[in-house]
Structure 1
């Protein structure tokens, strides 16, 4: 089963588990119904932005629709500037944390929509210099440095001076009854 098929299967299962129609998930996520149908059928290549919009609307972490990476995985899912490869998903009683190996393309900027309430992100930069975080207060982070920001508000990734490599942690607190 390829990435598109696996993502589609997991996306459809999450939507059905929440008893949502294609139309309702499309409305909540801002993703077109036709696009959503093609994603669920494995006919369309998912982008990072689209998957975040859908998983946020479903109240799930991004890793809920990504296949577990094989050892030495390359590739991943890409957005307009960021490519992310899922390395790990850690669950405890309070939160789910996704760990990604990310690359921000040289000279590129990606604006990400808000994730679920109380979600946070942290980036440890391995090489290059990134501008990340909230658009009105971006943090400049170089090799060996890290930044932390709210991801339940629109946020940004940029690599103004060359390609950036890093490790991204996305923490999704679990809802309490």
Structure 2
């Protein structure tokens, strides 16, 4: 059975980040510069003494060339920031793509701008409770319960919770590249 405590999850995420960085022959300084995450914070993350935020993980995943799921490591692992929380439900390689499925929670009034992901990355959100405004910057859609929206996320995109917040199922489809093979599925 996998230990899902915050400390254990932070340790496994740190191990993944360190292994991926080493596999790419990146120094701690080089990854810090490429990701915009401070070297000290990155060191604490790799050592499992800092709980990673969603924003930090996305900042690191880009320069490492991996989907978010490759850093989270385990189903049930999650991260949050700016009132947006995700929990990894499943990640798998299907042919030439990596498909990640997350439970998404948006706090009431939360607003997060996500940086562009790699070329060809597409996100789909199905709202299961509340109301959300999501999509590529300047082309967001407001979604009520039961509605869904798909958008290319290789551009800046947003997630915003309505007055009562929102819950949903978020799927991210990433065309597989050589670095993404670290998913291990």
Q: Aligning the two structures, in what range does the TM-score lie when normalised by the shorter sequence? A: over 0.9
Q: SS of 2:137's equivalent?
A: coil
Choose which of 14, 30, 35 in structure 1 pairs with 2:36. Answer: 30
Q: Distance in 1 between matches of 2:150 and 2:83?
A: 19
**Alignment root-mean-square deviation, CA:** 1.4
Alignment gaps of 5+ in structure 2 = 179-185
Choose which of 72, 85, 88 in structure 2 pairs with 1:86. Answer: 88
Runs of 4+ residues deviating >6 angstroms: none
Which residue matches 1:131? Answer: 133
Number of equivalences: 172
2:82, 2:111 within 8 Å by CA — same for their partners in 1?
yes
Q: Distance in 2 between matches of 1:25 and 1:114?
A: 18
Q: Distance in 2 between matches of 1:151 and 1:175?
A: 16
Q: Post-superposition shift, 1:84?
A: 0.4
Q: Distance in 1 between matches of 2:83 and 2:141?
A: 17
Report the TM-score when normalising by structure 2.
Answer: 0.88
Which residue matches 1:11? Answer: 17
Choose between structure 1 and 2: higher strand proportion.
2
Which residue matches 1:169? Answer: 171
Any idea what the Cα deviations from partners look like across 1:9-51, whole Å, max 9, x if unmatched? 0110111111111111111111111111110001111000100
Alignment gaps of 5+ in structure 1 = none
Q: Distance in 1 between matches of 2:42 and 2:153?
A: 24
Choose which of 38, 41, 46 in structure 1 pairs with 2:47. Answer: 41
Q: Distance in 2 between matches of 1:161 and 1:147?
A: 19
* Matched ranges for 1:105-124 at <5 A: 105-124=107-126
Report the TM-score when normalising by structure 1.
Answer: 0.92
Q: SS of 1:163's equivalent?
A: strand
Q: Post-superposition shift, 1:175?
A: 2.8
Choose between structure 1 and 2: higher helix proportion.
2
